Amino acid sequence: MKTSIVILTYNQLELTKLCLTSLFKHTDLSETEIIIVDNGSTDGTQAHLNKENRITFIENQTNQGFAKACNQGVKMAKGEDILFLNNDTIVTDNWLVRLRKLLHSEKTIGMVGPMSNYVSGSQLIDDPYTSLDQVDEYAKKRRKKYDQQHKYVLRLVGFCLLVKRTVIEKIGGFDEQFAIGSFEDDDYCLRAVSAGFKLAIALDTHVHHHGHATFTGSPEINFNQTYLENRARYVAKWGIDVTYFMHARPELVDLVPKDAKRVLDIGCGAGATGLELINRQNCRLSGIEGNPDMAKVASSYYEHISVLDLDNELPTFEPDSFDVLLFADVLEHLKDPWKIVKHYATFLKQGGSIIASIPNISHAEALLPLLMGRFDYTSAGILDKTHLRFFTPQTILSLFPQQEYDVRQQFSTHVPTDVNVRTFFYELRLLGQKFGFDFSTIADDSQIYQSIIRLKKR
């Protein structure tokens, strides 16, 4: 089985040389083909690559952008797998063998990527080295520590992305409307997962990434402007801000009992929190989601997904079916969350857990403007315009009747405020004492952004 490695170049010849040196050293060339697409370099890159007989070289006279150039490479590719590799990378020993092993470990895995020192999201290492001389040794230690371990994700970064040809045949190439670069890989991942493929990170594989070399070496390209324009294209294409549905909540996953076998994730979004749980323990996930596109994404990982209007449609699971009900920032969006909790609780086993997170309306972000006569809704946060119900750390318990549930854990996430704001609420607490008002919790509550709670069904 041959792998086609597609590399895009645009100036930065010295980085390209480093990349190819590592590639020739650490890759079995008998099992690969290397296709380099140059986007009109002016620094001698084309002359240098024209002399290299170990590659297939495509010259563009002008900068065609990342997506279009990569698609050019795919059209030339003969491999069963396609690997997109930035020219500002340095690969390490056994890198491709391990990526391919993970890619073909499951039929449903469609794309995989490595860990790196310069990348956003879950692929970023947390123990970085300080020089290129340390790259190979770091990669060796990582291979030993994380041998054959992987993690499922919703997003992989395109600096080093290994893709089954069956994925490309099903969803096509990169969307060329994302000019120059940014968000074409986000879009591609979302399309792949929506088509039923899983994405995974090879935790035992490290590829060094210099980062943003194309933009750094091309002063005519405004990175910030390109990023904002492509983000707008991304939102317009999907009809929503997809990132709103893709935030994982690891602090909620930490509360899930490790012996839980069946979990119902109500308002699961694209399934990011559920994925954190799947990566931690063996369990069966079901989800409820109102957005059909996001439900389709989550369905690649969840055992069962129901697309429901949570306010007006109720599911019909068997009673006592689940060990855990997960309400991650969903109850505040509902017209009657008390009714929803009561109905869904019938699906929870005796002794099972409800885990919920709810924004705190008494945080300074909301309370201080209210004291000044303002209650302005926003697109996100405590005053999200889609919020219909509001709770404080004290009133959250009204959702869970004491005679039916025992509180097992309750804590808060904090967003500190300006020192003057904190001083104001402290003084307000003292003023309340003077006039007989109980403001004893107002100073502390004004710093609490969310209440997080785990309850046990009696």
Backbone CA torsion sign across 18, 21, 27, 31 = positive
| Distance in angstroms (rounded) separating the CA atoms of residues 308 and 315 | 8
pLDDT of residue 218: 59
Interval 346-357: pLDDT, tens? 999 999 999 999
Residue 217 has pLDDT above 60, yes or no: no
The mean per-residue pLDDT over the stretch 148-165 comes to 97
Say what percent of the chain tops pLDDT 70.
98
Residue 109: pLDDT band (50, 70, 90) is very high
Q: Round the CA-based radius of gyration of the chain to a whole number and report it.
A: 26
Neighbours of 47 (CB within 10 A): 10
pLDDT of residue 211: 83
Interval 39-86: pLDDT, tens? 999 999 999 999 999 999 999 999 999 999 999 999 999 999 999 999
Residue 1 has pLDDT above 70, yes or no: yes
DSSP H helices, 7-153, are 13-26, 45-50, 66-76, 95-103, 135-145
Domain 244-457 classification at class level = alpha beta
| Distance in angstroms (rounded) separating the CA atoms of residues 43 and 48 | 10
Is the Cβ–Cβ distance between 454 and 355 less than 8 Å?
yes
- Per DSSP, the residues of 172-205 read -S--TTS-SSSSHHHHHHHHHHHTT-EEEEEEEE
Where does 320-404 show beta strands of DSSP type E?
322-328, 348-359
Interval 280-298: pLDDT, tens? 999 999 999 999 999 999 9
The mean per-residue pLDDT over the stretch 200-205 comes to 98
Residue 216 has pLDDT above 60, yes or no: no
How many CA atoms are closer than 13 Å to the CA of 362, on its beta-carbon side?
17
- Between the alpha carbon of residue 345 and those of residues 177, 257, 355, 390, 440, the distances in Å are 46, 17, 12, 21, 34
- Per DSSP, the residues of 297-342 read HHTTTSSEEEE--TTT----PPTT-EEEEEEES-GGGSS-HHHHHH
| From the candidate CATH numbers 3.20.20.70, 3.90.550.10, 3.30.300.30, 3.90.320.10, the one assigned to the domain spanning 3-239 | 3.90.550.10
Encoding tokens for residue 435?
Answer: 């006039």
| Distance in angstroms (rounded) separating the CA atoms of residues 101 and 400 | 47
| Distance in angstroms (rounded) separating the CA atoms of residues 249 and 276 | 8
**What ranges do the domains of the chain cover?**
3-239, 244-457
Distance between first and last Cα of the chain:
56
Residue 180: pLDDT band (50, 70, 90) is confident
pLDDT of residue 60: 95
Is the Cβ–Cβ distance between 23 and 5 less than 8 Å?
yes
E strand or H helix at 153 = strand 150-153
Average pLDDT taken over every residue of the chain: 94
Is the Cβ–Cβ distance between 7 and 207 less than 8 Å?
no
pLDDT of residue 91: 98
140: three-class secondary structure by DSSP? helix
The mean per-residue pLDDT over the stretch 230-236 comes to 94
Residue 127 has pLDDT above 90, yes or no: no
Say what percent of the chain tops pLDDT 90.
91
The answer to whether 3-239 and 244-457 have equal CATH topology is no
